[in-house]
Amino acid sequence: MNFSEFELNPKIQSGIKACGYIKPTAIQEQAIPHALRGLDIMGLAQTGTGKTAAFVLPILERLLQGKRKKPRALVLSPTRELAEQTLEFFLLLGRHTGLRGVSVYGGVSKAGQVQKIRAGVDIVVACPGRLLDLLRDRAVDLSGIQTLVLDESDRMLDMGFMPDIRSIMRQLPPERQNMLFSATMPADILILADQILRKPVLIEVNHKKALQNITQSLYPVERSPKPEMLLSLLKQKCSGATLVFTKTRHMATKLARRLSQAGIRARELQGNMSQNNRTRVMKDFQKGSFNVLVATDIASRGIDVAGISHVINYDMPDTVESYTHRIGRTGRAAGSGEASTFVEPKDYRLIKAIERGQEQRLHRKFLKVASI
The pLDDT value given to residue 260: 93
CA 354 to chain centre: 20
Q: Is the pLDDT of residue 177 over 90?
A: yes
* 214-220 vs 363-364, strand pairing mode: parallel
Residue pair 180/305 in contact by the 8 Å Cβ criterion: no
Strand partners, 241: 308
Question: Which tens digit of pLDDT belongs to each residue from 58-84?
Answer: 999 999 987 777 999 999 999 888 899
Q: Please tell me the pTM assigned to this model.
A: 0.72
pLDDT over 90, % of the chain: 58
The pLDDT value given to residue 211: 60
Q: Tell me how many degrees the CA angle 270-334-219 measures, rounded to the nearest 5.
A: 55
The pLDDT value given to residue 140: 96
More confident residue, 112 or 107: 112
Strand order in the sheet with 337-343: 266-269, 292-295, 241-245, 308-313, 337-343, 214-220, 363-364
Question: Which tens digit of pLDDT belongs to each residue from 300-324?
Answer: 555 666 678 899 999 999 888 788 8
| 283/308 Cα distance (integer angstroms) | 14
Half-sphere exposure of 130 (CA within 13 A, CB side): 23
- Split at pLDDT 50, 70, 90, the class of 223 is low
Domains and CATH numbers, the chain: 3-205 (3.40.50.300), 214-364 (3.40.50.300)
Q: Where are the alpha helices (DSSP H) in 8-109?
A: 10-18, 26-36, 51-64, 80-93
